[in-house]
Structure 1
Amino acid sequence: EDFLSIIYRPLDENLFSEKNLNILKKIRDEIKRIESISSVLTILDVPLFKSPPVSLKDIQDDFITLESPRVNKKLAIKELKNSTLYKNLLISPDLKSSVIQANFKRDLKYEELLLKKTDLVEKKLKGELTPPEETELEKIKSELTILQDLKRKREQLAVAKIRNILNKYRSHAKIFLRGVAMIGSDMISFIKNDLTIFGTAIFIFFIIILGIIFRSVQWIILPILCSVFSVITMMGYLGLSGIRVTVVSANFISLQLIFTMAIAIHIIVRFNELLKEKPEADYRDLIIETVHTIFKPCLYTSLTTIAGFSSLIFSDILPVANFGWMMSIGICISFLITFLFLPSCFLLFKRKISIRKERPHLSIPRVLAKISERFSKTVVLISCLVAFITIIGIFQLEVENSFIDYFKKSTEIYQGMNYHDQNFGGTTPLDIIIDFEKEEEEEYDPEFDDEDEENDIYWYTEEK
């Protein structure tokens, strides 16, 4: 069963007081009422064998818990503290914190389809899959995707309901919610948040930059429309192809917006230059010349960027590989849409397009050119020094493999995991893969065929 765990630590640090045990009971009972929760386990529910000591017969008839009238509380506390079953799992060694485990209801249909899928995939790997089974496998995959989405929504709803319950008691205790479902729910929230914040920030940044560069409404609107169309097209493609956005690939929208905007600005700048150079030239010819002159540089820029992102495709980490595919396809979409959309808009606007008058201003390229010309040796020397320092820095790079450090300290994911690691047994994932060797067939022994039924009795006696 999938489950959520809740760490409960009373502010007065007296876990076994009547007041705190009553709060623990209320939390347990309220969580039990959630539809998708099958059971809840706390220190109030686990069997106690030495509080007072009981015989095996008594345990079979009715075991003692902290809620039992005949429980000896002092002995119960001692047992919980020393028990290898409960210490570090349901209760901290210092007896100040306890864990509430909320178990989700099992989805039997999902589990059954998952087993069928595993069997069919195994057959496919061995090359034994028949065409009808291939069709069945695709059908099962589709059903599993639907069931998985429904399961995730149920878990997200349960997480939200549990949080609402816990919020009522945070004034009495430190409470942390933990679990795979909770992390999954929060990660989706983080992704949505990132997309909203980054998208809004980039949108505002583009308006400001385009306004400073072009000082014209049309040259602000057109690149933004072009970027938005590219992103919408890419999102539609991802939805139709079934590629899911992950934490790794969540920023593809920001990157695609930036790349599309770069190409659009190149085209607009070149078009404006031609308008100024050839004010009497045919308008359509100017558009064609703009596309011809800027096409190759933008194509080479796109190809080199695609080459960079394509290197991620060979990663063994699936989300990273998917991100490589997403960005490579996204750049192709941006390139095509920009070179189709902008020239079409130029034709629609025709001569209504305004040309910004040049004003005296500081030319950054001219300044940089003068610096390079006058201080060429110094520039090369500084560049070599910077390169040397960066090489040293490269050897100082370390790969972060601590899952907890992926999150800010203000998040509940970090706080819950950190508290559990410090006050309970900690969390260390361990995968044990057992590969059974194929059993050899037993050799045929004709002696058994020669035995009569009386001898069978000898071979199958109770002692044997």
Structure 2
Amino acid sequence: MLSVFKTAYENLITRHPGGVLVFVALLTVVAALGLPRFKIDASADSLTLEADEALDYYREISERYASGDFLVVTYRYRQGDLFTDPALDTLRQLSGELAQVPGVESVQTILDVPLLYSPKPEISELADGIRTLSDPDTDRDLARQEFLSSPIYRELILSPDGQTTALLVNLELDRRGLELVRERDALRRKRDSEGLTEAESARLEEVSAIYLQHRTEQDLVSRQRVDVVRGILEGYKSEAELFLGGVSMITADMIAFIKSDLVVFGAGILLFIIVTLLIIFRQVRWVLLPLSTCILTAVIMLGLLSWMDWRLTVISANFVALLLIITLAITIHLSVRYREFAAQNPQWDRRQLALESVRFMAKPCLYTALTTIVAFASLVVSGIRPVIDFGWMMTMGVALALVLSFLIIPAVLMLLPKRADGIGEDNSHAFTLLFSRFAENRRRLVLTVAVAAAVIGAVGATQLRVENRFIDYFDSSTEIYRGMLVIDRRLGGTVTLDIILDKPQIEEPAFDGEEDPFALGVGDSGADSDGAGDYAFTSADAFAAEDPFASDDPFAAESETVEPSYWFTVAGLSTIEQLHDYLERQPEIGKVQSLATLYKVARDLNGGPLNDFELAVARSGLPAEISDVLVDPYLSIPNNQARITLRVMETDPNLRRDELIQRIYEYAHDEMALAPENIRQTGLLVLYNNMLQSLFKSQILTLGAVFIGILLMFLVLFRSLSIAIIALIPNMLAAAVVLGGMGLAGIPLDMMTITIAAITVGIGVDHAIHYLYRFRSEFAKDGDYLATMHRSHATIGRAMFYTAITIIAGFSILALSKFVPSIYFGLLTALAMSAALLGSLTLLPLLLLIFKPLKGPLESREAPGKPEVAGEGLAGA
């Protein structure tokens, strides 16, 4: 079967080279037609785990409390005090314009939030109307003091210096999107756990397509809305210092970063390829041939992804650069081998040169491509959607690069006239021979350095961490960074965390079948020291009967429509307040909001504690302006549930998300005796933490999959366990160097750096395959290990050096990104590839000399002195 395929391939290349190129051209045109469909995804879905149950709970809570997305605009008046007429008039005008933007539900500013301490009213006066800063008779000094010190607004809406405020631009909740995605995820979970019926499978496919289309439309609308908001803010930049923040804004900017990276990386890599090929080959044909192969591979792959509606994320934005680098490496190996044959066999015609080149390089290139594919395919076990997509994209891309390289290059060489001029001018083998002589003469040093690198790498790897600050993902010049910095330091934090409290299961006291005679009066009995007493558990029933004094109750109309709630009793509010106060004491946490805020204000306005009856009456009389701000976002009566919202300060250098989450649980369970089933945490911080905590497991899984897959391929290729292990050692060392270096340098694992070790092994092992394949071929000539090593360095060593330098410099171009993880990814991978190259040119041949795993007929004829280095006199060798 294999021989039939080989014959068919050779006949196709030698007899129909023009047809091959026409086919590739047509394929390119068809793929290019799909490029207008190309899309980028920077949504929150692309930064979460593939099967995270916390994500569905987060969506459920968002829908329950109508907490849609929002934008935050920070406002600092340039020309004077914030509380002057010009400053407030400008703020009012800006707020009005933002409120008119399509998709904006409301805009909340210091102008329209209710004031309860400017001056402080009696509780009974609340129903008469709520004062705001917009009222002409409001004392602005008192209002400023309220914004700075009241439990409602402290660290929320005004900076400590009283000069920076925030406009909260609330966006309409995408209920349709939530319904679709929750239905899709429910079907996915059922599919994975118990299987789906035919109808359910069809529905899953249908709802997935509908949701994808809906999200595409909503992402476009969201980006347009951000552009409109930015346009409005631009008109006020001369009067105020303004920064925009929020998930929608970050998403929009990340898409801009991805597009920029695609252009910068693509252009940078192409320019680098041209320069590299000119330096290496110094002939136009050897520049245009690899360059055109790289470009065609990238165009076809991007077109294929576009037709499949497979979207790039901030992680897979490096896909084009990587594909160009890997394709170039394959073409360089083919080109160098062709030129070697042309220099050694000037009598061969172009057909024989092309055939012998592809015959010799087919197996090592196939196995190097397969090992690279194994490295990228291993990423699919990570559980992180953008990393999974990146793995599959590169798997397909590397396979396409291999096929196109072995179609385009030999087909073009069959059509071009044979040229031998300039081929003998390359003397780079003299440089690579330095490595073989170093390995021969400095054996102890090479082994000592290798052992030291392994030990240091192991020690450093134990210090790897996954905790990192999201703000550090962005360059300090970007608006994302500057906006998050202002919001974090002046306005109470950025990343949201919600604590959800469910009503505890409480046994009702028994009264021998009789009703509790004190049902209405329990609120007046003494509570324990923390404000909670057993009486409070039955207080909700106190309002079940019709109030006989309803006609005299000033809040009677409202009280008939207010449902009782455990969380609006002394017991419930005391529980919330205890946890609320604990959260406020945590150094990483900024602003905390809950029903406890209203409870504190109510006690203050009342001049003392309230009992359950007073709380119920007060709640029934709350004006809508206060209820909308202090009750509705934190209470779900139908679900017997309370919600505490808080914001975590991303700029805190001591932030440890997982430790903070566990600390909150431990306090709730151990100190407050809350049952585990009655408290849950959700929010973006939880989702992001879940993804980070999966990175260690993912790192182990991906590396394990890579090593096992590559070891099996080595066994098939070389049919020797000892050779397979020898080949893996330098690449394992390279992975240890980069992981250990990250640990020692304090660089955390993230969605980008998690891929480095697997990619390093997958690509770096290509050097080992090419070297061992040539070493085995050269060894068969005389069985002399030393002579074989020098000949291998003088021939395949050059191609290894070219491709490695190309890969190292290509990855280094990623340092031009504005997305910091991409910078780390590029530079660390370049470091790892440098280590892999040095290992393949020094440690690998030394291990071959020491263990002598090859069994040749002339093995015993190893020369006692320094052998003549074959290849030094070869033209073009």
* TM bracket (short chain): 0.7 to 0.9
Distance 1:336 1:130, change over 3 A: same
Give the C-alpha shift of residue 431 in structure 1: 5.5
Q: 1:83 aligns with which of 133, 150, 155?
A: 150
Q: Give the residue type in structure 2 aligned to 1:418.
A: L
CA apart distance, 1:343 = 1.2
- Measured in 2, the distance between the counterparts of 1:429 and 1:194 equals 29
Distance change in 2, residues 1:429/1:218 (3 Å): same
**Distance in structure 1 (CA, Å) of the matches to 2:461 and 2:192:** 41
> Structure 2 length as normaliser, TM-score?
0.47
Partner of 2:305: 238
Verify the 8 A CA contact 2:342 2:420 in the aligned structure 1.
no
Instruction: Quote the residue 1:286 is aligned against.
Output: 353
Pairing 1:170–2:237 present: yes
How many equivalent residue pairs?
Answer: 440
What secondary structure is seen at the aligned counterpart in 2 of 1:327?
helix
C-alpha distance 136-310 of structure 1, shift in aligned 2 (>3 A): closer
In structure 1, the partner of 2:116 is 49
Does the 8 Å contact 1:272/1:355 carry over to 2?
no
Matched, 1:63 2:122: no
**Partner SS for 2:228:** helix
Query: Structure 1: which 5+ residue stretches go unaligned?
Result: 438-460
Pick from 76, 84, 90 the counterpart of residue 9 of structure 1.
76
1:22 is the counterpart of 2:22:
no
Does structure 2 conserve the Cα–Cα contact (< 8 Å) formed by 1:50 and 1:79?
Answer: yes
**Change in CA separation of 1:122 and 1:323 when aligned onto 2, cut-off 3 Å:** closer
Answer yes or no: is the 8 Å Cα contact 2:343–2:423 preserved in 1.
no
Shift of 1:315: 1.0
How many Å apart are 1:254 and its aligned residue? Answer: 0.9
Structure 2 CA distance for partners of 1:355 and 1:81, relative to 1, 3 Å: same
| Percent identity over paired residues | 38
Cα deviations by residue, 1:376-396 (Å, 9 ceiling, x for unpaired): 444444444444444444344
Aligned positions of 1:29-428 closer than 5 A? 29-54=96-121, 60=127, 62-114=129-181, 116-117=183-184, 120-121=187-188, 124=191, 127=194, 129-349=196-416, 351-353=417-419, 355-359=421-425, 361=427, 363-428=430-495
Code of the residue aligned with 2:388 in structure 1: it is A
Return the offset for 1:328: 1.9
Could you report, residue by residue, the CA deviation over 1:94-147 in whole angstroms, capped at 9, with x for unpaired residues? 322211011223445434434544565566567485433432332222121112
Moved more, 410-419 or 168-177: 168-177
One-letter amino acid of the structure 1 residue matched with residue 367 of structure 2: Y
Work out the CA distance in 1 between the residues paired with 2:188 and 2:274.
51
Pair 55,31 (structure 1): closer, same or farther in 2 beyond 3 Å: same
Shift of 1:260: 0.6
CA contact (8 A) 1:8 1:176 kept: yes
Post-superposition CA distance 1:295-334 (Å, at most 9, x none): 1111221122222223322113222222222222211111
Structure 2: how far apart are the matches of 1:428 and 1:328? 35
- Residues 297 and 159 of structure 1: is their aligned pair in 2 closer, same or farther, counting only changes over 3 Å? same
Taking a change above 3 Å as real, the CA distance of residues 229 and 12 of structure 1, as seen in their structure-2 partners, is same
Distance 1:308 1:110 in 2: 35
Q: SS state of the match for residue 414, structure 1?
A: helix
| 1:432–1:307 CA distance, 2 compared to 1 (3 A) | farther
Question: 1:297 and 1:286 mapped to 2: Cα distance?
Answer: 18
Secondary structure in 2 aligned to 1:40?
A: strand
Aligned to 1:445: none
**1: CA distance, partners of 2:159 / 2:471:** 20
Q: Tell me the distance in 2 between the aligned counterparts of 1:298 and 1:248.
A: 27
SS of match in other structure, 1:358: helix
Most deviating of 29-38 and 11-20: 11-20
Higher mean C-alpha displacement, 94-103 vs 372-381: 372-381
Unaligned runs of 5+ in 2: 1-67, 505-543, 548-877
Return the alpha-carbon distance in structure 1 between the equivalents of residues 220 and 348 of structure 2: 60
Partner Cα distance (2:502, 2:335) in 1: 62
Alpha-carbon distance between aligned partners in 2 of 1:121 and 1:306, rounded to the nearest angstrom: 27
Give 1:57 deviation, angstroms.
7.6
Q: Secondary structure at the match of 1:242?
A: coil
Q: 1:435 to 1:15 in 2, by over 3 A?
A: closer
What one-letter code is carried by the residue in structure 2 that aligns with 1:168?
Answer: G
SS in 1 for 2:133: coil
Q: Which amino acid aligns with 2:169?
A: A
CA shift at 1:417, angstroms? Answer: 1.7
Distance 1:5 1:242, change over 3 A: same
C-alpha change, 1:389 and 1:128, in structure 2 (3 Å) is: closer
Q: String of CA shifts for 1:185-211, please: whole Å, max 9, x gaps.
A: 111111111111111111111101100
**What SS does the aligned partner of 1:311 have?**
helix
Higher relative contact order (CA 8 A, sep 6+): 2
Q: Assess, with a 3 A threshold, how the Cα gap between structure 1 residues 137 and 312 changes in structure 2: closer, same or farther.
A: closer
Report how far residue 271 of structure 1 moved: 1.3
RMSD over aligned Cα atoms: 2.9
How far apart in 1 are the matches of 2:296 and 2:185? 40
> 1:456 aligns to what?
none
1:164-183 residue CA offsets vs partner (Å, 9 max, x unmatched): 22223334333221100001
Instruction: Tell me what 2:713 maps to.
Output: none
- The whole-number CA distance in structure 1 between the counterparts of 2:340 and 2:193 is 63
> Match of 2:253, as an amino acid?
D
